[in-house]
Amino acid sequence: MKKFSYFLILSVFVLQTIVAQDKPNIVMIIVDDFGYHDIGYHGSKIHQTPAIDNLAKTGVVFQNGYSSYPRCTPSRYGMFTGTYPVNESKGYLGGIPSEKNFIHQFNAAGYKTSYTGKWHIGGEESSPTGFGFHQSYAAGHAGGVDTRHYPFNTKTLEKAKANEGKKKKGHGEKYPVLNVTEDGKKGDYLSDVLTDATIGFIENRDKKKPFFTVLAYYAVHTPIEAKKEDEKRNQKEIDAFDYGDGPEYIKEGAGRRKMRQDNAAYAGMVENVDENIARVVATLKKEGLDKNTIIVVTSDHGGLSNGGHKGQRLLATTNLPFKAGKGWLYEGGIRVPYIVNWPEKIEPRFDTESIVLGMDIIPTLLDLSINKKVDGIDGKSFKSVLEGTEKWNDRTVYWRSVKARPHSTGDGKTEVVRSGDYKLLYFKDTDKVELYNVVKDEGELNDLAASEPKKKKELLELLKGWKKEYLIPSKVKIFPPKK
């Protein structure tokens, strides 16, 4: 009788585990400031990224994968709300109703949810746990650290202590990255610590439940600091590389654009992130989860290639052949790595046509995992695209960036519409319009605004209609130029 009871209990446990494993686990990896051409699979000759390359080769790669905004906070807001970040801020995540909250949907479906790393879109009720994640680590208001090496938050904590009791935090004051200083030790490197936390979550998970975990690296954002051995190795490779006779920088906007991938510390940061992604993949295999786990790799916007008029800041990378980078609405600022890996269910391929945005990722994951669609948002599930039954090459999408930073990244106030093959940019400060066929001209070198007036007018009308729907007329300039 005891043997029978033991067998019954064991059978129930196994059945529960099988039911839980019927839903895929999800690992979503966001690399900060990571340009499309920063990975080997997309053509980098300097950055060695074998783990990401393998996920690309065995997954679906979107050549037309875009962020929803060319800077961190609005892009992340769009990603986790599935809406256009037209207010260009962190919004108010705590005010999103439960039926539109992606994490609430995962939780209701039995998922264990976790967030590790850069959040940068609020605290308290708008923090990861306030938003619905069961647990979070090193996530909150902070946009970065003082140094990537332990103790990470040195200057921020010293300044906070000096100002303690004097005043409340104001706009522009830095927040420390949570947890890592207390939990870290001498010799620790931040990306390693975040990966350790994610691996710990996977290894110590409730095995009866599927999980959705986000690993959001603070790398490869500034400060540009690598481990000494990684920087030294890359410096040797860079010194031996032939960059030809092209210029190292060109003038662009209010500043300059970098034209080479020749920053050894940045290369070391990229490669360290890749090594850590390899650790996560190895953990999934060790735990027997690799066949039933969806892995997403993406970025919040393009790489830091442009500086502004306020000094000559250290620039990290180039996004060539795309134009410009972080802060800009040219392709270099918004075209990003966009990989969905689930080879057991989705046939690997390189999608050269479909247009997808950061705000589409989690709606797609909900659809893939629990067959759930959220109404009243801008993001769309591209499950049908992954399955090969649809192509999104005629999609129309929009961007608006009017909180320009000419002092730091050289950009100006810009609004953009892409419809099918064509992309129109409207520069608000000058009323200038540029039009490109970004399928034939991905470097945005041949402005068609004068030679294709009908297409220019068509896209201006699309942009005008979108702004009327989304913006408050009394507070913004709705209409494109009269000319």
Q: pLDDT tens digit string along 147-178?
A: 999 999 999 988 877 777 665 555 456 899 99
> Nearest-CA neighbor of 360 among 70, 25, 83?
83
pLDDT number for residue 230? 98
Q: Is the pLDDT of residue 105 over 70?
A: yes
**136 close to 114: Cβ distance less than 8 angstroms:** yes
Q: What confidence tier does 222 reach under pLDDT thresholds 50, 70, 90?
A: very high
pLDDT at 16 over 90: no
Tokens 């890996």 belong to 341
Span of 16-25, 67-76, 187-196 with lowest mean pLDDT: 16-25
pLDDT score of 10 more than 50: no
Number of structural domains (the chain) is 1
- Closest by CA to 333, choosing from 348, 343, 318, 347, is 318
CATH number of the domain to which 101 belongs: 3.40.720.10
Do the domain assignments include residue 337? yes
| Residue 38 resides in a domain | yes
pTM for this entry: 0.93
Q: How far apart are CA 123 and CA 72, in angstroms?
A: 16
Determine the structural domain holding residue 290 and report its residue range: 21-394
> Angle 121-125-127 (CA atoms, 0-180°, nearest 5)?
40
Helix (H, G, I), strand (E, B) or coil at 406: coil
Beta bridge partners of 397: 418
Residue 8 lies in a domain: no
Q: What are phi and psi of 300, to 5 degrees?
A: -85, -20
Quote the CA–CA distance of 298 and 305 in Å, as a whole number.
18
In a domain? residue 404: no
Question: Does 363 have pLDDT greater than 60?
Answer: yes
Looking at residue 17, its pLDDT comes to 46
- Residue of 362, 278, 220 whose CA lies nearest to 50: 278
Q: What angle do CA 177, 181, 187 make, to 5 degrees?
A: 120
Decide if 44 contacts 37 (C-beta within 8 A): yes
Rg of the chain taking only CA atoms, in angstroms: 23
The pLDDT mean for the chain works out to: 92
First and final CA of the chain: distance in angstroms?
A: 88
Over residues 46-71, the mean pLDDT reads 98
CA–CA distance, 483 with 481 (Å, rounded to integer): 6
- Nearest one of 113, 111, 134, 136 to 123, comparing CA atoms: 136
- Residue 477 in any domain: the answer is no
In a domain, 476, yes or no: no
Average the pLDDT over 258-266 and give the result.
98
When pLDDT is averaged across residues 36-56 and rounded to a whole number, the result is 98
Phi, psi of 479 (to 5 degrees): -85, 140
| pLDDT on residue 7 | 46
Q: How many CA atoms lie within 13 A of 55 on its CB side?
A: 28
C-beta separation of 269 from 304 below 8 A: no
Return d(Cα 308, Cα 409) in angstroms, integer: 4
- What does the pLDDT average to over 390-417? 96
Residue 405 domain flag: no
Provide the 10 A C-beta neighbour count for residue 206: 11
Q: Are 184 and 150 in contact (CB under 8 A)?
A: yes
**146 domain residue, yes or no:** yes
Which strands, in side-by-side order, build the sheet including 349-357?
Answer: 135-137, 112-117, 211-217, 25-31, 293-299, 338-341, 60-66, 349-357
